[in-house]
Amino acid sequence: MTPPAAPQGSARFRRHSLTAKQAVLTLGIAMLLSILAGAIELASDARSMRQEVEHQTRHLLALVNGTAAEAAFQLNPVLAAQVAEGLWAGGHVASVTIRDDFDRVMATRERPSEAHAGWLANALFGDILHYRETLTYELGSGEPASAVGEIELSLAPGSLSRAFIDRSLLVFSLGMLKALAIAALVVVVFHVFITRPLLRVHAAIAETDPRHPGQWPKPRLERHIEDELGHLVESLDDLLNAFQHGLNQRDALHQISTLDGLTGIANRRRFDSFMADSWQRARRSRRPLSVIFLDIDNFKGFNDHYGHVSGDDTLRAVAGALTRVVTRATDLVARYGGEEFVCILPDTDLEGARRVASRIRDAILALDIPHAGSEHAEQVTASFGIACTTPGDDGMSCEQLLEQADRQLYRAKHQGRDRIVWQE
């Protein structure tokens, strides 16, 4: 079974990750430095190899000089051939010639394939390929040494260039291995000390709840408390806490802007927003939506008799009674204006809204606030108008639902107040 392919985005992320970029950059720099160092080392190695070749060749000629001179003095071609064969057997020797003092060739060996040298061999070894030395022989009895012939030796440029290339490949191979080792070491160290802490910071930011940025899972980078990474984490912490402070201020201002300053319950702005949202939800779910309008009876007379301070206290007391009765999180109690209040009851039919209105009426009566200016009761009362619909079923709009509840409240007022009215 073929394993599932890795997500393309994940592969792209790995290719473009900080570790991958740093690895490529480090490897490139290490290889460039390795090439430069290798070039310098090759130049030095070429000089060393020239010196070694020249030294070894002259040393070799010095070793066979006596034997070759003996062969030339005695005109012994067999001995001369042995000397030539011994020199020619060397790995880099292309030709050897031994002559006597009459310039006659006594022995010679040559590699025909080395007749033409390449440009590299000529560039590196062209001036040290040919050697010619005079053979001298000690006659004894205090006589000075005399020349008895010469030996001529030529080195094989191809053999020398191949040896140099082999050494160059070894140098470059070791250089590349060192570059790879250095790059790998730098990548590992960079990942452990830089990339991994950065990834921890990135993961912490990714896990942060945008609604509560101040509660982000701040990472603890023990090895980087005093360096740039530690300062980065502290700066991020300060920034996110500043964001949290701003959000808190925004929420506080929003709450203030949606609350009635006198009663502490929702204001008209909050009511309009909540009503629109509740209407849309009810239309999608095909569930009933009820609205209760209520108005404190003869409130102007109450203010005229007891004063506005007592009137404000009464509004606050009625608002408190409403919030004690309407407790569902899906419902809303709001001050609609003046002494008028409204309740939005999602997922509540007409019968349910009647029961809620009845409990509110009882709660207001239980406040037992005296009302000497009332024409129908000795205490503060309220009139109620109820409307209910299932959005989408009867073609009623949200505005029409509110108008109907307001008409029922008007009917309650004209029917004698302190009552609940609805339309069947």
CA–CA gap between residue 120 and residue 160 (Å, rounded): 10
Other C-beta atoms lying within 10 Å of the C-beta of residue 51: 11
Reference 244, options 236, 234, 233; nearest CA is: 236
On the CB side of 214, CA atoms within 13 Å amount to 8
CA–CA gap between residue 149 and residue 101 (Å, rounded): 4
399 among known catalytic residues: no
Distance of CA 340 to the CA centre of its chain: 56
Is residue 402 a contact partner of residue 343, using CB atoms and an 8 Å limit?
A: no
Determine which one of 41, 70, 114, 339 is catalytic: 339
Beta bridge partner(s), residue 132? 152
Tokens of 53: 């070749």
Q: β-pairing, 420-422 with 382-389? A: parallel
Is residue 345 a contact partner of residue 292, using CB atoms and an 8 Å limit?
A: yes
Is residue 387 a contact partner of residue 380, using CB atoms and an 8 Å limit?
A: no
Is residue 289 a contact partner of residue 282, using CB atoms and an 8 Å limit?
A: yes
On the CB side of 12, CA atoms within 13 Å amount to 3
Instruction: Catalogue the active-site residues.
Output: 339
